[in-house]
Chains A and B, each alone.
Chain A
Amino acid sequence: MNAPAPSPKISLRDVHRAFGAKVVLAGVDLDLAAGESLVIIGGSGTGKSVLLKCILGLLRPECGSIKIDGAEMVGIRAAERERVVRKIGMLFQGAALFDSLTVWENVAFGLVQAHGMSRRAARAVAATTLAKVGLGADVMELRPAALSGGMKKRVALARAIATRPEIIFFDEPTTGLDPIMGDVINDLVVSCVRDLGAAALSITHDMASARKIADRVAMLHGGKIIWSGPVAAIDHSDNPYVDQFIHGYAQGPIQMEVLAP
């Protein structure tokens, strides 16, 4: 007799979301298994960030089901949502560091606010976590405004992993970085996810990043997941949309809205 398949960390079924007349998500079905690194690819404006925000509860889907560890998130009470969200860490595209706090206070924020750790203990954890992402004690007292783009991303990564979350979301982790710094961030993402044993859900349109950090890739287009498979299979997907996207061809089934001058 086969053992029952482990329940997914995140499970989406028939998720819909529109903004006025513009339908962004039109029935998304997706599963993220424990310990898996799933990358969602897709063009700009295809709803990747909206999908992440729906899972986090920052946006409410019009219909469908979103489950985290089996708990239904759509329509959940705020206090219960806060409890579930404690399992999640998030790296934002623009880092979203708190301007009014120092680097170490940013990293320690979740430990102090959500986990009730003392500031002294949280500062020690922040120093250790910053070291994991390659930042020394000399940046701890700096404000985010004094950091470069790559350093901000590292601090944001440290903040995302400081609470040792079971699930980590990465929103365009390499956008706006030079290729070398992008690769450094990709390596950090892989090592942090592996160290924590966390499930990772990333969204990107950077194929180099996707190939490096993904176990499995899913493509979002037209509001639906149109292809999903192991990262090694992406070059042989036999899906014309995936082929066009990963090779970056202007010609193909994906028509970009380009206004002629």
Chain B
Amino acid sequence: MLALPYGSGRRGVMLVHFVAGIGRAVIAFVVTTGRLARFAGNGLYHCAAPPIYPLLIGRQMLSIGYFSLPVVGLTAVFTGMVLALQVYVGSSRFNAESAVATIVVIGITRELGPVLAGLMVAGRVGAAMAAEIGTMRVTEQIDALVTLSTNPFKYLVAPRLIAGTLMLPALVFVADIIGVLGGFLIGTGRLDFNGGTYLKNTFDFLETIDVVSGLVKAAVFGFIVSLMGCYNGFHSAGGAAGVGRATTNSVVSASVLILAADYIITELFFAK
């Protein structure tokens, strides 16, 4: 019979169950983290080791980059417009309206461009990756790859990791331009800024590090989106419901990791 160190009453039993529940959650977290790290390491190895599949990488680049352009562009233009309005409201309280253009461009390039593009791509591309690979898992297509002497990591995971890491910076670069354009449209059309002055304020105070840090973030976010899409799809089980869970987990985990990585990268770039 189980001896309860906190007494044999109902409170003791509840306490043991509570502590056991925490223990189970911690163990599950550690196991999942280890499995994810191993999956990421395996994926990175196969990104570098031949054979490489340029055609598959190209297809994924098209899917992640070109076909995400409309949604990322729309997000960027509206974000730039809203940012210009909100910054104008705040800056006008201490007569600093001329800072609108500078704050919009820095806000977009350093933070909002990469984060919002990352989140949108996680929803559009990460979910699609998890659903596609998850379906391949439950219909034995991944097993079929193995029987055809094809490593699933090389064929499915590596092209997506490479494409995600390369294409999100390209998307974010375009999003930066569109976001600044959104701010420009509101600044000149709604807030009565002079177009030339707005652009001068935009570029005079913009530094290379503002853009570069955003692009580095984008590369990391692209890797995270692809990794979580592939990982969750690869480990899906239990038919259609399992694929649904993998899709949801892929979007949620990629979104949380993007926000956490955003903070870490920001600290690294701007630590004094």
Contact = CB atoms under 8 A, between A and B. Distances in A.
Contacts of B144: 90, 92, 96-98
Contacts of A100: 132
A57 B151 CA distance: 12
Interface residues of B, number: 15
A89 B146 CA distance: 11
Contact of B147 (A56, A78, A94): A56
A113 B150 CA distance: 7
B143 A53 contact: yes
A182 B128 CA distance: 35
A92 B140 contact: yes
Given A94-B139, A99-B135, A114 B148 contact: yes
B149 interface: yes
B141 interface: yes
Nearest to B153: A78
Interface string B144-165: 1011111100010000000000
Contacts of A57: 146
Contacts of B148: 109-110, 113-114, 159
B149 A96 contact: no
A78 B151 contact: yes
* Chain B interface SS verdict (over half): helix
Given A78-B151, A82-B151, A96 B146 contact: no
Contact of B143 (A82, A96, A110): A96
A90 B141 CA distance: 12
A61 to B, nearest CB: 16
Contacts of B150: 109, 113-114
Nearest to B154: A113
Contact of A110 (B136, B141, B149): B149
A63 to B, nearest CB: 22
Chain A CB count within 10 A is highest, among B132, B139, B148, for B148
A109 B152 CA distance: 13
Contacts of A88: 147
Contacts of B151: 78, 82
A86 interface: yes
Interface string B121-136: 0000000000010011
Contacts of A90: 144, 147
Contacts of B140: 92-94, 96
B146 A58 contact: yes
Interface string A93-107: 110111110000000
A85 interface: yes
Contacts of A83: 149
Contacts of B136: 98-99
B222 to A, nearest CB: 22
Nearest to A79: B151
8 contacts: A82-B151, A86-B149, A90-B147, A92-B140, A94-B140, A97-B144, A98-B136, A110-B148
Interface of A: 53, 56-58, 78, 82-83, 85-86, 88-90, 92-94, 96-100, 109-110, 113-114, 159, 169
